[in-house]
């Protein structure tokens, strides 16, 4: 069977087997971006021990009371390693879901580090990343995200604690401020004096 070269070429062209210049540019950008991500992730893996060691040394200087026992130091080291691995994995997957889960209050409450100390640890890690700017920024994006989430959750927890500590009478006053004047006027004039009568049906005071 004779093959017509011209028609074959036209047929191949019509099927668009090759990338357009725009598609090629997008692919190259994707490749370059992923190359940067992989470089950043490799750095975290290769220098994990050194990063953790530097972080622990910094914490020992600012919070020596945290390291009274070797077991305590081991637990703190494990906590820092846990979040460092999560940041690296989230970076590779371009997905913060696992990081979000690990930053929930029920997980944070199990750590040997307080939220402030965990933030301090992450900031130490930030300041000890020595990569070219693009790769460094990939890591910083996830560290900054983690720090922001910890701050938000800590503020929320503190607010809940403050609400729990509000005296009962203050809560009553706060509730009272939400009632309109028209509703207050519906109460009997002698309600404060005879509230037991209106609530429980006992005889009114004369």
Instruction: For residue 17, tell me if it sits in a domain.
Output: no
CATH of the domain at 74: 1.10.490.20
DSSP SS3 for 97: helix
Spell out the residues 6+ positions from residue 134 whose beta carbon is closer than 8 angstroms to its own: 36
Residue 75 covered by a domain? yes
16 assigned to some structural domain = no
CA gap 14, 182 in Å, rounded: 77
pLDDT at 92: 85
CA nearest to 118, candidates 94, 154, 89 = 154
Q: Which domain holds residue 147?
A: 32-166
Number of structural domains the chain divides into: 1
Q: What is the pLDDT of residue 61?
A: 94
The answer to whether residue 59 sits within a structural domain is yes
Is 194 a member of any domain?
no
Instruction: Give the distance between the most distant pair of CA atoms in the chain.
Output: 119
Nearest Cα to Cα of residue 120 among 159, 141, 153, 151? 151
Contacts of residue 147, Cβ cutoff 8 Å, sequence gap at least 6: 119, 122, 123
Q: Is residue 173 part of a domain?
A: no
Q: What b-and-e string marks burial along 35-50, b requiring 16 or more CB atoms within 10 Å of the CB?
A: ebbebbbebbeebeee
- Verdict on whether the full-model pTM lies above 0.75: no
What percent of the chain is helix, strand and coil (3-state, nearest 5)? Answer: 75, 0, 25
Q: In this structure, what is the dihedral angle of CA atoms 28, 31, 36, 41, given to the nearest 10 degrees? A: 180
Distance CA 58, CA 38 (A): 28
- DSSP at 65: G
DSSP type of residue 66? G
- Tell whether 196 is covered by a domain: no
Q: Is the residue at 70 inside a domain?
A: yes
pLDDT in tens, the chain (206 residues): 555 555 654 554 455 555 567 766 776 676 666 888 889 999 999 999 999 999 999 999 999 999 989 999 999 999 999 999 999 999 888 889 988 888 888 888 888 888 899 999 999 999 989 988 989 999 999 999 999 999 888 776 555 555 556 666 566 667 777 778 877 777 777 777 776 776 677 777 76
């Amino acid at each position: 069977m004779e093959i017509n070269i011209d028609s074959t070429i036209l047929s191949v062209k019509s099927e668009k087997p090759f990338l357009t210049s725009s598609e090629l540019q997008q692919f190259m950008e994707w490749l370059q971006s992923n190359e940067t991500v992989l470089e950043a992730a490799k750095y975290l893996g290769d220098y994990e021990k050194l990063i953790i060691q530097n972080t622990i040394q910094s914490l020992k200087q600012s919070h020596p009371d945290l390291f009274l026992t070797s077991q305590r130091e081991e637990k703190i080291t494990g906590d820092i390693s846990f979040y460092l691995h999560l940041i690296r994995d989230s970076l590779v997957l371009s997905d913060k879901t696992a990081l979000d889960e690990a930053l929930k209050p029920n997980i944070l409450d199990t750590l040997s580090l307080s939220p402030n100390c965990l933030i301090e640890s992450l900031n130490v890690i930030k300041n000890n990343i020595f990569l070219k700017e693009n790769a460094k920024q990939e890591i910083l994006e996830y560290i900054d995200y983690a720090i922001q989430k910890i701050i938000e959750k800590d503020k929320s927890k503190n607010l809940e604690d403050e609400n729990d500590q509000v005296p009962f009478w203050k809560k009553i006053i706060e509730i009272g401020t939400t009632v309109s004047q028209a509703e207050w006027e519906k109460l009997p004039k002698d309600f404060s004096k005879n509230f037991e009568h209106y609530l429980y049906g006992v005889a009114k005071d004369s």
